[in-house]
Amino acid sequence: YPAPITCASAKADGSGYMLAAADGKVFTFGDMVHHGEEILPIGSPSTVGVTIAGDGDGYWTCRADGGVSQFGLIGFYGSLSGINLSAPVVAISNSATRYGYLLLGSDGGVFTFGDSRFFGSMAGIRPNSHYVGILLAKDGSGYWMAGSRGEVSAMGNCCFMGSAQPLNYRARIVAIV
């Protein structure tokens, strides 16, 4: 069976997008260029995130173990591979420029690379939360993190604008866009 699609990302101008599967396979659409992929061996940590550099010249993928792969005309700024993490990585978001990215752990931990700025994390603060996505403000001044039960945490200059948690929504939240 083909591996399930685990993540998606769109170009900033809306002219293309891409999907990534758990096994590292990448699918591009519109004018998004396919710059390569890393097909993972069976049993490897799943690909859980993909983010496109703002201009579409490349993209980064991340795995549950914090490993990051870079494709296209963009830089590699580090990863968490080989580090004993307290929770798996669940998402990646590029910085406001094309020179960095940040990773989100399911425990709310945030890890920055390149020119991405750290504005705080929720690791250890909400022990029963399972974070699923992170969205960086367009100007890079903060980020929002979403939990699977609808909770949203705002960091930096991002304003809290509400969450799905008080709505008693029973399905799991899987991303923030």
Domain CATH for 105: 2.130.10.10
* pLDDT in the model for residue 62: 97
Report d(CA 133, CA 153) in Å as an integer. Answer: 11
Query: Given a cut of 90, is residue 42 above it in pLDDT?
Result: no
Distances from the Cα of 26 to the Cαs of 3, 6, 29, 49, 56, in angstroms? 11, 11, 10, 11, 14
Examine residue 37 and state whether it is found in any structural domain, yes or no.
yes
- The string of pLDDT tens digits covering residues 54-94 is 778 999 999 999 999 999 999 999 999 999 999 999 999 99
* pLDDT in the model for residue 78: 98
1 band by pLDDT with thresholds 50, 70 and 90: low
**Average pLDDT rounded to a whole number, residues 11-37:** 95
Query: Given a cut of 70, is residue 24 above it in pLDDT?
Result: yes
| Number of structural domains found in the chain | 1
Examine residue 156 and state whether it is found in any structural domain, yes or no.
no
| Averaged pLDDT of the chain | 93
* pLDDT in the model for residue 128: 75
Examine residue 146 and state whether it is found in any structural domain, yes or no.
no
**pLDDT above 70 covers what percent of the chain?**
99
Examine residue 131 and state whether it is found in any structural domain, yes or no.
no
Q: Which domain holds residue 78?
A: 5-125
Examine residue 21 and state whether it is found in any structural domain, yes or no.
yes
* pLDDT in the model for residue 112: 98
Cβ atoms within 10 A of the Cβ of 15, count?
A: 12
**pLDDT above 90 covers what percent of the chain?**
76
Q: Is 131 exposed, middle or buried (0-12, 13-18, 19+ CB in 10 A)?
A: buried
* End-to-end C-alpha distance for the chain, whole angstroms: 29
